[in-house]
């Protein structure tokens, strides 16, 4: 029987989206179902302002057999140091890493003193294969979707990782998630994060995978082009159970294209309208996967914000987008009217630096979005196809959707950065549409 730690190493997050953190707790929940596992701890060191002494205490006192380290474009900043602490203070533990970055650039992690790397498939299954092998005496070679280091050499898997069916997912145990830390990270709307300030969110991962296939999105590469979605019953039951035991004030649905399955969305809305589970909620989708009737129904069911991948209204930039994401200004203005009528805040994702676009075109896109009353959430274009194993941690961090990855004209770079880091004076008021359940300390 093994003791396992699932951890996000200490680092300073460049961007915070609680949905990106749910795999930490989903993997932990999945491992707890395994007969080989005695105990699983989780640690969100990246948001807890932990010092390295506290990390050392955890590693030394935990007596872990396996340490599963979650990775991302930010979390590599402290990975070398974390691995050093783990090897020094928990020398008997086997180290495996999983996450967005190792699924997109797995060779990079071969440079670290690790025992295994989840390269493909759902994170839970990659870690579970390794844990099962450790319990049996140690993996003799690569596992499905997971590279293993044996005899000092990396054995690369010849079989892809597994894709779980939605009823096999382990939805996070809300009792171990540090919501107070999440609340603080969302409190400043001028940081342009996607949480609703002054209100506590319950993240529900409703779907994995997406058929749209945007080149600047990691979802298709990691989770596939076929969408897998929880049943409406599973979603409603989890929300009801969570709201009954903790002071959540709205639901954030984490799904690449929430309204991709229109019938599912309509069924969920009708369940919320009928009650007794009737939360306020938000989601992200595409302009093309919305209609006047659907937006109206979503508003009636408690939806307070719809985020859409507007990306750009500049026609020269549409060549970098899948056809379904090429939004015309008239269609976007129409959507804004539907949202206003339904009492829903429209949140527009805008990509800065998308190939084919110009600073003038980006400015025009932002101006149109603000003109119709939409909130704007800009991110920097990240050419994920340029990732390679020989990169340094600093080079990797340029793909965090905030920094420009490639060289370019200094004047244009400064202009592009103004969209992400310039002062934001258009702050959301959507929290006023979400009843408060908790006392919130002033900033």
Asked if the model's pLDDT at residue 442 lies above 70, the reply is no
Q: How far apart are CA 201 and CA 434, in angstroms?
A: 11
pLDDT in tens, 197-230: 999 999 999 999 999 999 899 999 999 999 999 9
Note the pLDDT of residue 361.
Answer: 97
Note the pLDDT of residue 443.
Answer: 52
Note the pLDDT of residue 73.
Answer: 85
Residue 200 lies in a domain: yes
pLDDT in tens, 408-422: 899 999 999 999 999
Asked if the model's pLDDT at residue 431 lies above 70, the reply is yes
Residue 442 lies in a domain: no
User: Are residues 48 and 107 located together in one domain of the fold?
Assistant: yes
Asked if the model's pLDDT at residue 263 lies above 70, the reply is yes
User: Are residues 289 and 257 located together in one domain of the fold?
Assistant: yes
User: Are residues 227 and 128 located together in one domain of the fold?
Assistant: no
Residue 440 lies in a domain: no
**Domain termination site, one of 121, 155, 189:** 155
Count the neighbouring beta carbons within 10 Å of the beta carbon of residue 201: 23
Note the pLDDT of residue 231.
Answer: 98
User: Are residues 271 and 398 located together in one domain of the fold?
Assistant: yes
Mean pLDDT of the chain: 95
pLDDT in tens, 331-355: 999 999 999 999 999 999 999 999 9
- CA distances for 377 relative to 183, 308, 309, 423, 424, angstroms: 19, 10, 10, 13, 10
Residue 172 lies in a domain: no
pLDDT in tens, 105-138: 999 999 999 999 999 999 999 999 999 999 999 8
User: In which band, very low, low, confident or very high, does the pLDDT at 441 lie, cut at 50, 70 and 90?
Assistant: low
User: Are residues 190 and 111 located together in one domain of the fold?
Assistant: no
* String of DSSP letters for 240-274: HHHHHHS---EEEEE-TTTTSSHHHHHHHHHHHHH
CATH, residue 127: 3.40.50.2300
User: Are residues 104 and 230 located together in one domain of the fold?
Assistant: no
Identify whether the C-beta of residue 422 lies closer than 8 Å to the C-beta of residue 429.
no
The domain tally of the chain equals 2
> What is the residue range of 23's domain?
2-155
Asked if the model's pLDDT at residue 389 lies above 80, the reply is yes
User: Are residues 151 and 191 located together in one domain of the fold?
Assistant: no
Note the pLDDT of residue 140.
Answer: 86
User: Are residues 337 and 397 located together in one domain of the fold?
Assistant: yes
pLDDT in tens, 129-171: 999 999 999 898 999 999 999 989 999 999 999 999 999 999 9
Note the pLDDT of residue 440.
Answer: 64
User: Are residues 302 and 399 located together in one domain of the fold?
Assistant: yes
Residue 438 lies in a domain: no
Q: How far apart are CA 37 and CA 52, in angstroms?
A: 27
Q: Tell me the helix, strand and coil percentages in the chain, rounded to 5.
A: 40, 20, 40
**Domain termination site, one of 120, 155, 190:** 155
Asked if the model's pLDDT at residue 285 lies above 70, the reply is yes
Task: Indicate the range of 216-220, 233-237, 439-443 predicted with least confidence.
Answer: 439-443
Average pLDDT over residues 232-252: 97
User: Are residues 12 and 135 located together in one domain of the fold?
Assistant: yes
Residue 314 lies in a domain: yes
Asked if the model's pLDDT at residue 429 lies above 70, the reply is yes
User: Are residues 36 and 69 located together in one domain of the fold?
Assistant: yes
- The distance in angstroms from the start CA to the end CA of the chain is 46
> Shortest CA distance to 163 belongs to which of 127, 121, 205?
121
User: Are residues 194 and 125 located together in one domain of the fold?
Assistant: no
The helix (run of H) or strand (run of E) holding residue 380 is strand 375-380
> Shortest CA distance to 69 belongs to which of 36, 23, 13, 30?
23
User: Encoding tokens for residue 415?
Assistant: 């202009």
Q: Name the percent of the chain lying above pLDDT 90.
A: 91
Residue 164 lies in a domain: no
CATH, residue 209: 3.20.20.70
User: In which band, very low, low, confident or very high, does the pLDDT at 77 lie, cut at 50, 70 and 90?
Assistant: confident
Residue 161 lies in a domain: no
């Amino acid at each position: 029987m093994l003791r396992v730690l699932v951890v996000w190493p200490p680092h300073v997050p460049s961007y915070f989206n609680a949905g990106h953190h749910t795999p930490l707790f989903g993997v932990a929940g999945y491992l707890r179902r395994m007969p080989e596992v005695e105990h699983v701890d989780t640690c969100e060191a990246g948001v807890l302002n932990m010092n390295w002494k506290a990390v050392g205490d955890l590693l030394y006192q935990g007596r872990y057999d396996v340490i599963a380290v979650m990775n991302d474009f930010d979390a590599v900043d402290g990975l070398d140091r974390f691995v050093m602490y783990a090897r020094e203070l928990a020398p008997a533990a086997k180290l495996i890493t999983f996450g967005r970055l190792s699924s997109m650039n797995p060779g990079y992690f071969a440079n670290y003193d690790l025992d295994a790397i989840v390269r493909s498939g759902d994170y839970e299954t990659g870690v579970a294969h390794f844990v099962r092998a450790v319990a049996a005496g140690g993996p003799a070679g690569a596992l499905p979707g997971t590279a293993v280091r044996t005899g000092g050499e990396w054995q690369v898997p010849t079989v892809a990782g597994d894709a779980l069916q939605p009823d096999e997912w382990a939805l996070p145990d809300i009792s171990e998630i540090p919501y107070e830390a999440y609340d603080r990270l969302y409190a400043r709307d001028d940081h342009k994060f996607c949480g609703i300030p002054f209100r506590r969110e319950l993240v529900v991962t409703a779907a994995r995978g997406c058929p749209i296939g945007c080149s600047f999105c990691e979802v298709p590469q990691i989770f596939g082009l076929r969408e897998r979605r929880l049943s409406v019953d599973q979603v409603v039951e989890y929300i009801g159970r969570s709201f009954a035991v903790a002071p959540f004030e709205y639901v954030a649905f984490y799904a690449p294209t929430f309204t991709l399955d229109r019938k599912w969305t309509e069924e969920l809305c009708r369940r919320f309208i009928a009650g007794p589970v009737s939360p306020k909620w938000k989601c992200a989708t595409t302009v093309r996967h919305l209609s006047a009737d659907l937006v109206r129904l979503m508003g009636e069911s408690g939806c307070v914000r719809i985020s859409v991948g507007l990306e750009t209204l500049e026609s020269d930039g549409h060549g970098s987008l899948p056809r379904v994401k090429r939004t015309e200004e008239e269609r976007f203005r129409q959507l804004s009217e539907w949202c206003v009528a339904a009492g829903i805040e429209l949140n527009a994702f805008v990509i800065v630096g998308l190939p084919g676009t110009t600073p003038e075109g980006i400015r025009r896109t932002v101006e149109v979005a603000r003109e119709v009353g939409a909130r704007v959430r800009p991110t920097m274009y990240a050419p994920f196809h340029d990732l390679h194993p020989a990169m340094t941690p600093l080079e990797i961090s340029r793909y965090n959707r905030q920094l420009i990855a490639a060289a370019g004209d200094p004047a244009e770079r400064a202009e592009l950065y103004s969209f992400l880091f310039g002062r934001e004076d258009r702050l959301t008021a959507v929290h006023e549409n979400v009843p408060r359940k908790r006392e919130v300390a002033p900033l």
